[in-house]
Amino acid sequence: MTNHFQHHKSSIVEWMLIIFLCILVVYLFLTPVDVFAADGTEFSGAATKFETWIKGNLGRLAALVAVAVGSIMAAVRKDWTWFLGSIVLSVGVGIVVTIINASFTAIL
């Protein structure tokens, strides 16, 4: 009798799991309706903050540190590629952020 009860119990648990998963799938399909109605500006605040960090005082400080480290490494190793690499990195980050921001602005 116990074995018969265990079989029915596992069958009930399986059906409960199937019903739960079906309800979850329906819920997940119906939830994003609000997302489709958005105007596409949900990331504009974060993008603007990141751009002001890169182009503002924090970006200038990072560029200055990169050039300083590149200058020191160039003087110690007698290799100017460190210095040129730091300048390319400093200028390149600003250019890349501008390009990425322009492409996101065009998409949004």
pLDDT of residue 32: 65
Residues 18 and 55 in one domain: no
Residues 69 and 32 in one domain: no
Residues 55 and 31 in one domain: no
Alpha-carbon dihedral angle through residues 91, 93, 99, 105, given to the nearest 10 degrees: -130
* pTM across the whole model: 0.50
Q: Tell me whether residue 51 is exposed, middle or buried, using C-beta atoms within 10 angstroms of its C-beta: 0 to 12, 13 to 18, 19 or more.
A: middle
Residues 69 and 104 in one domain: yes
Residues 61 and 48 in one domain: yes
* Interval 13-24 mean pLDDT: 89
Residues 30 and 56 in one domain: no
* Interval 7-31 mean pLDDT: 82
pLDDT tens by residue, 39-85 = 666 677 777 787 787 778 888 888 888 888 888 888 888 888 888 88
Domain that holds residue 75: 40-108
Domain count within the chain = 2
